[in-house]
Structure 1
Amino acid sequence: MPTRPAVHLAIPVDDLDAARQFYGGILGLDEGRRTDHWIDWNLHGHQLVTHLVPRRSVAPGTSEVDGHNVPIPHFGLLLPHKDFHVLAERLRTAGTEFLIEPYQRFPGQPAEQWTMFFRDPAGNSLEFKAFTDEAQVFAR
């Protein structure tokens, strides 16, 4: 049982082998329980479940943030700076196509952060980021 609250997130994928290669191989997440139609992943202490479902027919949208069209919906994780840059390099090495290349957003402001967006093989949008000052994550 986690010592802190943990998030459970279930997402659709259309190929479990591609999900295993991406989430386990490229992102380096530990695989948990699984069946023939879903796989649990340890997303830094949070439970991410990839469920095998047919392709979605609803087109994703976008929202403008800091001059970029951010894909909606998306999910991701807040990482320490070092881990963020290690992951960015791992994604580049794997040939991942970024929706938004890793860059520093809101420089000099309380919400200063590094961020990047990319899709998994099923088309789910992911954002990983690292705040300059983690205490400012929810600052207004």
Structure 2
Amino acid sequence: MKSNCLHLAIPAGDLTKAMTFYCEVLGCKTGNSEEGRWVDIDFWGNELTLHQSEEQLPNVRHKVDMGEVAVPHFGIHLPEDEFQALKRRIEAAGLEYLDKPYRRFVGNEYEQETFFIKDPNGNVLEMKTMVNPELMFR
């Protein structure tokens, strides 16, 4: 059986702040929830569950072609127009990039633009757009 919906649950700190970030800044919608404990977010067709928490995940940096990226991280691949619209929303909200937009693998079939941001609890998100998304998994 194959499913195209990923489920990921993360510590979100203050749920009100987290929901503002994910819904108002990123443009996601809410789903099921348990008041004060957790809320499901429609993360571009995937189920991201934000859990009220005190803890934050530690982040370390791993070397890649663009420098050192934060690990762990998660994110989404978006069509170019949605990716550019998301960058405008992030900038309009006055958020700082953890790693500014960067083009990788220029001239290669895997060419992409990517950036990293943090949510209010310090979870790292990588957002990207691929020039040839159909070639990602052949």
Return the TM-score normalized by structure 1. 0.91
CA distance in 2, matches of 1:32, 1:23: 12
1:112 paired to 2:105: no
Report the alpha carbon displacement of residue 32 of structure 1 after superposing the two structures with TM. Answer: 0.6
Query: Which residue pairs with 2:42 in the alignment?
Result: 42
Query: Which residue pairs with 2:80 in the alignment?
Result: 81
Report the alpha carbon displacement of residue 138 of structure 1 after superposing the two structures with TM. Answer: 3.2
CA contact (8 A) 1:68 1:100 kept: no
Report the alpha carbon displacement of residue 29 of structure 1 after superposing the two structures with TM. Answer: 0.4
Alignment RMSD: 1.5
Q: Gaps spanning 5+ residues in structure 2: where?
A: none
Moved over 3 A (4+): none
Percent of aligned positions that are identical: 38
CA distance in 1, matches of 2:122, 2:49: 15
CA distance in 2, matches of 1:10, 1:92: 26
Query: Which residue pairs with 1:69 in the alignment?
Result: 68
Which secondary structure does the structure 2 equivalent of 1:92 belong to?
A: helix
Report the alpha carbon displacement of residue 54 of structure 1 after superposing the two structures with TM. Answer: 1.4
Return the TM-score normalized by structure 2. 0.92
CA distance in 1, matches of 2:135, 2:16: 38
Query: Which residue pairs with 1:122 in the alignment?
Result: 121
CA distance in 2, matches of 1:54, 1:16: 11
CA distance in 2, matches of 1:33, 1:67: 38
Query: Which residue pairs with 2:59 in the alignment?
Result: 60
Which secondary structure does the structure 1 equivalent of 2:98 belong to?
A: strand
